[in-house]
Amino acid sequence: MNNPLLKDKVVLISGGTQGLGAGIALRAAAEGAAGVAVTGRNADAGETIAAELRKAGTESRYIKADLTDVEQARNSVLETIDAFGSLDCTVNAAGLTTRGTMLDTSPELFDAHIAVNLKSPFFIMSETIKHLRDRGAPGSIVNIISIAELGGQPYLAPYVAAKAGLAGLTRNAAHAHRWDKIRINGLDIGWTATDGEAETQKRFHGAGDDWLEKANASMPMGKLGQVDEIAEFVVFLLSQRSGVVTGSVIDWDQQVIGGSD
């Protein structure tokens, strides 16, 4: 590939063992990354993705991490640096999507959402930024947020609270570290077709095996968001090809916020 977007870069992807995170890992490798680390709780899935990346010619590591534990989140950055010698790009792609409303969310469920969807990205970003500053190196971070952070459905109350916090944090960190030449952006993704979403629809909404066909038919563009399309854009944002852009939280959806029929 001529001028690959991530040539010689080392990339860490939290939640990179499945779904969108795995798609981003594969795209980063395809765009010339020198090393890709993926984190997650499922060792089998993690080793499978790491092996696929190595087979494609990219050095890769699976790092087992339960992101409800902030120390494991922080250590995932340190283990990546130890494995590859440096870190250039980080993606916070892990997410908890269990349901809860204002009336039935327990303190435990709320805390779990904050831990995975806000606290772990905070400290993964913190460790990444410290490393980049110590090296005096530029770098980039992309946070996978959600269009729901702008309001969301009633059954996503704790999720919305955490993701709205992550959107604000993205802007705050980008502003704080722009003079370090560390670019930090976020994507407010909409409804996306993943294996994890299939499980969510069946578990929480009683969906059948034809859920995706029905969901696609209900969308203006005739399909849900696609992992490969989102992954391509994430890698673009990580790369120098996206220029000076920082502090942007970009809507990646076919729902137009504020629009009305």
Write out the catalytic residue numbers.
Answer: 159
Buried b / exposed e across 172-185, counting CB within 10 Å, b at 16+?
ebbeebeeeebbbb
Which residues on neighbouring strands pair with residue 40, listed in sequence order?
64
Strand extents, DSSP E, the chain: 10-14, 35-40, 59-64, 89-92, 139-144, 182-189, 249-252
Alpha carbon distance 60, 12 (integer Å): 10
Dig out the tokens for 223 from the structure. 């399909």
Buried b / exposed e across 93-124, counting CB within 10 Å, b at 16+?
bbbbbbbbeeeebeeebbebbbbbbbbbbbbb
Which residues on neighbouring strands pair with residue 189, listed in sequence order?
252
